[in-house]
Structure 1
Amino acid sequence: MGSKTSRPERFGNAGQSGQGQHLLGPRRVWVAGVLGGRNVAQLTPAFLSAHHFIVATACHEADYGQLIRDYCLSQFQASMEALGPRLWCDWEETLGTYGELTNCTALVAEKLACYWPNRLVDEFFVGLHRRYFRSCSPTGRALRDPPAAVLGPFIALPVLGALLAAALVVWRSKRGEGLV
């Protein structure tokens, strides 16, 4: 056990699946458990093949947060500024850009061997919604008046109905009370 080989070579390349290649280089933490007072490394090879050496990928949150801000957010901001604040609440206009941002955060997480979604992603998107979508309606659609061809009758008909009802009351009161 005194060799100077790396842990993956010494333990039979346990967990080597190629996922260690990511943007900031491999960041693996080899975790050995202790069972019954014995170190797992002292157990038989058959026992080791039962995955009692766990390869845990360490997500470096500082790197992940910086990358999603520098890479993903900068692209999103450029797209949203080009779109203009008037259309930020129009889901049909922002859906593509928002989807690209979501995919970007997931891709960076995958490359850094981080779980997705995670706490940083949640905080990132909450901050994003506070900045860009704070004044949007809960349905996600920009509220606007209907066209005049639709709005006009909805205003005119009740007004005309009220005037007609008032005229009918006046007319009935002038006729006399002979008819009951």
Structure 2
Amino acid sequence: MTTGHSDQNENNTSIRATESTKQNCNETVMLDNVKICGYSFELLMFHTLDRKDWCNVTSLLRQYSFFSSCTENVTIYAGCFWPNPIVEGFIIGIHKKFFSNCTYIAETMPEDPPDKILSILLLIPVLLTAAMIALVVWCSRRSDILV
């Protein structure tokens, strides 16, 4: 019974911590600072990358990583959770602005081989297994060879 009581106290403490964090969240400060992160990201995108490289993940990784960590830091600084719906909406706006023309080029999946080749590839291990079993049985019956 005492464990149930301590679990309840821990749950109440975590609920109070969550509520106090919500009360300490300054959304105005958070949104203003997140806009600064967006502005910095725009400057980095326009001045360090050609437009043709905006859809190349490897070339914009540094800029996007900076933007992501910036939004996380200013959100936590404002006393808010990260991610949250406000910041997510802002990030979606950035994605629409910079990456709306990017198309995902799926890697072509290899096709299955023709049925004849597939059948052969499946039968080889089955036949080898059967042959090995037959060899073990044959050798075990002819114990005079092993002696």
Work out whether the TM-score is over 0.5: yes
**Residue 93 and residue 114 in structure 1: after superposition, are their counterparts in 2 closer, same or farther (change >3 A)?**
same
- AA aligned opposite 1:127: G
Aligned to 2:82: 116
Question: What residue is the counterpart of 1:101 in the other structure?
Answer: 67
Residue 43 of structure 2 is matched in structure 1 by 78
Residue-pair matches, total: 91
1:74-124: CA deviation from partner (whole Å, max 9, x where unpaired): 211111001121111111111111011000111111111110000011101
2:16 aligns to what SS in structure 1? strand
Q: Say which one has the larger Rg.
A: 1
Question: What's the TM-score once normalised by structure 1's chain length?
Answer: 0.46
Structure number with greater CO (CA < 8 Å, separation at least 6) is 2
Provide the rounded CA distance (Å) in 2 between the counterparts of 1:108 and 1:114. 9
Unaligned runs of 5+ in 2: 1-8, 107-147
**Could you tell me the percent identity over the aligned residues?**
26
* Equivalent residue, structure 2, for 1:134: 100
Structure with greater strand percent: 1
Q: Secondary structure at the match of 1:136?
A: coil
Over 3 Å counting, the alpha-carbon distance change for 1:62 and 1:134 in structure 2 is: same
Structure 1, residues 107-161: CA drift from partner, whole Å, max 9, x if none? 1111111100000111011101110000101259xxxxxxxxxxxxxxxxxxxxx
Does the C-alpha gap of structure 1 residues 51 and 138 become closer, same or farther in structure 2, counting only changes over 3 Å? Answer: same
- After TM superposition, the score normalised by the length of structure 2 is 0.55
Matched to 2:51, the amino acid is: P
Distance 1:53 1:93 in 2: 43
Q: Distance in 1 between matches of 2:93 and 2:52?
A: 19
Unaligned runs of 5+ in 1: 1-46, 141-180
